[in-house]
């Protein structure tokens, strides 16, 4: 019974299939090709979009890396200039600075050969730049410290120079004062005379100024007391100048030193001077060189002229 019931249904299905239209194979192939073509177009669009997007991103990255490379080069040049400004008078420190500059020059030469896309190398160079900057800062601190010390030394040097100049000035003032005092003491120690007198004498020792009567010239003077003078023997020299300025002398070899020169004297006498007042008399014997006129007499001792006077000689006469 069941087989009879199923059979009619099967028969109906077969009848329906027989009555359905049949699709040609060519139309099926065209439809498949269209689907594939559209898929290819969509895929090509997606790939093109991704490629363009990738190219745009790559250019942006390359631009950023190029800018970073240029910035790195600029920073290296600035750092090198900074090292130029750090040069000092310290030869040892300058040698170290030059070494650091050579490192910068090597980096500048290296960065010129690095491609902008070599990110790893650029990053390495940036790290080296950071190290060089730290080194530069340490040199800046070191130089600042040296400059501070130098400023202190300069200030101390100026102070010492001022003090030295003050000492020199004081020393010069003292020397001038000492010279002045020495000069005053020296002048104060010079022997002085008073009551200087020159008298022509005849053969009996009487005063007579007639040229034919004169036997000798007597020169008298008193040496004053002087406690500053050095005690001891002194030689007193007398020069007698005639009307013709000729110096009366026994011999041209009768010379004594006066202010660096050898000059002739008319007469001399050694005296023991003990800082007390003492009277001195010196004689000049007439040698026939007298002429009428006025005569000047000069007394010398210790390289100083210490007294002067004059006398007159008249023409010959009986008395």
Residue at 270 is within a domain: yes
Which stretches of the chain drop beneath a pLDDT of 50?
1-6, 17-18, 181-182, 184
Residue at 153 is within a domain: yes
Residue at 167 is within a domain: yes
Q: What is the pLDDT of residue 231?
A: 93
Question: Bridge-partner residues for 257, per DSSP?
Answer: 262
Residue at 4 is within a domain: no
CA 14 to each of CA 1, 2, 34, 87: distance values in angstroms, whole numbers, following the listed order: 21, 19, 33, 108
Structural domain boundaries enclosing 155: 39-189
Go through 287-317 and write b for each residue having 16 or more CB atoms within 10 A of its CB, e for each that does not.
eeebeeeebebbbbbeeeebbebebebeeee
- Measured in degrees and rounded to the nearest 5, phi and psi for residue 296 equal -110, 140
With 0.85 as the threshold, say if the pTM is over it. Answer: no
Which of residues 189, 216, 232 is at a domain's end?
189
CA 39 to each of CA 33, 45, 53: distance values in angstroms, whole numbers, following the listed order: 10, 10, 21
Residues 155 and 115 in one domain: yes
Residues 292 and 217 in one domain: yes
Q: What is the pLDDT of residue 132?
A: 74
CATH of residue 197's domain is 2.60.40.10
pLDDT tens-digit series, residues 203-226:
999 999 999 999 999 999 999 999
Residues 228 and 305 in one domain: yes
240-247, long-range: CB < 8 A, 24+ apart: 240/198, 240/266, 240/267, 240/284, 240/295, 240/296, 240/297, 241/295, 241/296, 241/297, 241/298, 242/289, 242/290, 242/291, 242/293, 242/295, 243/291, 243/292, 243/293, 243/294, 243/295, 244/291, 244/293, 246/289
Residues 55 and 149 in one domain: yes
Q: What is the pLDDT of residue 285?
A: 94
| Contact criterion met (CB below 8 Å) for 197 and 237 | no
Residue at 16 is within a domain: no
Which of residues 139, 166, 189 is at a domain's end?
189
Residues 82 and 209 in one domain: no
Q: What is the pLDDT of residue 278?
A: 95
The per-residue pLDDT of the chain, averaged, comes to: 79
Q: What is the pLDDT of residue 286?
A: 93
Residues 56 and 181 in one domain: yes
Q: What is the pLDDT of residue 143?
A: 73
pLDDT tens-digit series, residues 272-308:
999 999 999 999 999 888 999 999 999 999 999 999 9
Residues 96 and 134 in one domain: yes
Residue at 267 is within a domain: yes
Number of domains in the chain: 2
Residue at 90 is within a domain: yes
Residues 93 and 185 in one domain: yes
Go through 34-62 and write b for each residue having 16 or more CB atoms within 10 A of its CB, e for each that does not.
eeeeeeeeeeeeeeeeeeeeeeeeeeeee
Residue at 27 is within a domain: no
Q: What is the pLDDT of residue 203?
A: 92
Residues 204 and 237 in one domain: yes
Which of residues 155, 172, 189 is at a domain's end?
189
Residues 124 and 262 in one domain: no
Residues 263 and 287 in one domain: yes
Residues 49 and 184 in one domain: yes
């Amino acid at each position: 019974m069941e087989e009879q019931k199923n059979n009619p249904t099967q028969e109906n299905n077969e009848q329906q299939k027989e009555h359905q239209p049949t699709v040609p194979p060519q139309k099926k192939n065209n439809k498949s090709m269209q689907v594939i073509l559209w898929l290819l177009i969509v895929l090509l669009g997606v790939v093109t979009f991704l490629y363009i997007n990738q190219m745009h991103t790559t250019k942006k990255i390359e631009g950023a890396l190029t800018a970073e490379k240029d910035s790195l080069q600029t920073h290296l040049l600035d750092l090198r200039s900074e090292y130029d400004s750090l040069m000092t008078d310290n030869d040892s420190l300058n040698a170290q600075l030059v070494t650091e500059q050579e490192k910068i020059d090597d980096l500048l030469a290296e960065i010129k050969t690095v491609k902008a896309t070599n990110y790893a190398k650029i990053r390495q160079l940036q790290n080296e730049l950071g190290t060089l900057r730290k080194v530069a800062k340490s040199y800046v601190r070191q130089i600042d410290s040296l400059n501070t010390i130098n400023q202190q030394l300069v200030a101390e040097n100026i102070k010492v120079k001022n003090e030295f100049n003050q000492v020199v000035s004081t020393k010069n003032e003292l020397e001038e004062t000492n010279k002045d005092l020495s000069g005053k003491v020296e002048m104060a120690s010079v022997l002085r005379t008073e009551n200087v007198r020159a008298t022509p004498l005849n053969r009996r020792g009487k005063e007579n100024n007639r040229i034919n009567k004169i036997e000798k010239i007597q020169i008298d003077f008193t040496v004053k007391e002087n406690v500053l003078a050095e005690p001891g023997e002194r030689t007193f020299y007398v020069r007698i100048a005639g009307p013709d300025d000729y110096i009366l002398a026994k011999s041209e070899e009768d010379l004594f030193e006066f202010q660096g020169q050898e000059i002739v004297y008319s007469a001399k006498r050694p005296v023991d001077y003990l800082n007390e007042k003492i009277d001195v008399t010196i004689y000049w014997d007439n040698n026939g060189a007298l002429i009428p006129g006025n005569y000047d007499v000069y007394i010398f001792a210790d390289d100083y002229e210490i007294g002067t006077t004059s006398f007159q000689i008249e023409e010959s006469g009986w008395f």
